[in-house]
Amino acid sequence: MNLTLKIWRQKNAQDKGKMVDYQISDVSGDMSFLEMLDVLNEDLNNKGEEPVAFDHDCREGICGMCSLFINGEAHGPDRGVTTCQLHMRKFKDGDTIYIEPFRAKAFPVIKDLVVDRTAFDRIQHAGGFISVNTSGNTQDANAIPIEKDNADKAFDAATCIGCGACVASCKNASAMLFVSAKVSQFALLPQGQVEATDRVLNMVSKMDEEGFGACTNTGACEVECPKGISLENIARMNREYLVASLK
């Protein structure tokens, strides 16, 4: 395949940034999207130009490091995958592909396609945990039976990889899907009950403070989420929040 790439280039957070055109040839359908960018970068490198900076690490869809807004969609046109799992067979010879960073006020650009997503970490510091000592002196794991259905739902919420696609896809740059996934995981487990009130209040307040927008139930986050985190979690968080606010 021969492709035209229109890629956002931005030297650093202060730089204005602009779209730059690149041509790439001999792209095979078996390549992942990031491998295609590797080939482009090798080429740029050989020509003495600076390669395009982009975030990536595990390249098997689980670390949540890769990002990229591809043709107007977080992680590109395929559903239920991260950019590292997107393969070039999803594109056609002669296509033009727009590649941009995950844009949001709370995700400032570091360079080119790389953004700073540490706001997510700071929300977690505000309550994304169960306060238990790590000494191992806890009760036997089977002493807390958990209904399979709840355990499975908690697991589904816990599979969030923190990539930020939800924020990038939301017209308000809201982090509700991300935060609600964490709140839900603990809300569904008996271990999480003790701190439930503080957790949801603190995490939501931190989310607002970090500059994420409000949720208007558009649902784009769920559509673009590579892990299929459900909007149900937002409903559950709203309920948790309401109950906590009334206490």
**Considering only residues 66-95, where is the footprint of another protein by CB under 8 A?**
78, 80-81, 85, 87, 89
Looking at residues 135 to 164 of the shown chain, list those that interact with another protein (rule: CB under 8 A). Answer: 135-136, 138-142, 144-148, 151-152, 154-155, 158-159, 161-162
Among 76, 106, 175, 192, the residue binding another protein under the rule CB under 8 A is: 192
Pairing of strands 96-100, 3-9: parallel
Tokens 């309401």 locate to 242
**Residue 14 near another protein by CB under 8 A:** no
Cβ burial, residue 71 (10 Å; 0-12/13-18/19+): middle
Residue 205 burial (CB count, 10 A) = 13
Cα–Cα dist 203/101, whole Å: 25
Per CB under 8 A, the segment of 17-25, 94-102, 169-177, 188-196 that binds another protein is: 188-196
Does the footprint of another protein cover residue 46 (CB under 8 A)?
yes
The least distance separating another protein from the CB of residue 233, rounded to whole angstroms, comes to 14
Tokens of 35: 């491998």
**Least distance (Å) from another protein to the CB of residue 119?**
10
Judged by CB under 8 A, the residue of 3, 5, 7, 34 near another protein is 34
Q: Three-class SS of residue 214?
A: coil
- Under the binding rule (CB under 8 A), the answer on residue 246 touching another protein is no
What 3-state DSSP class applies to 83?
helix
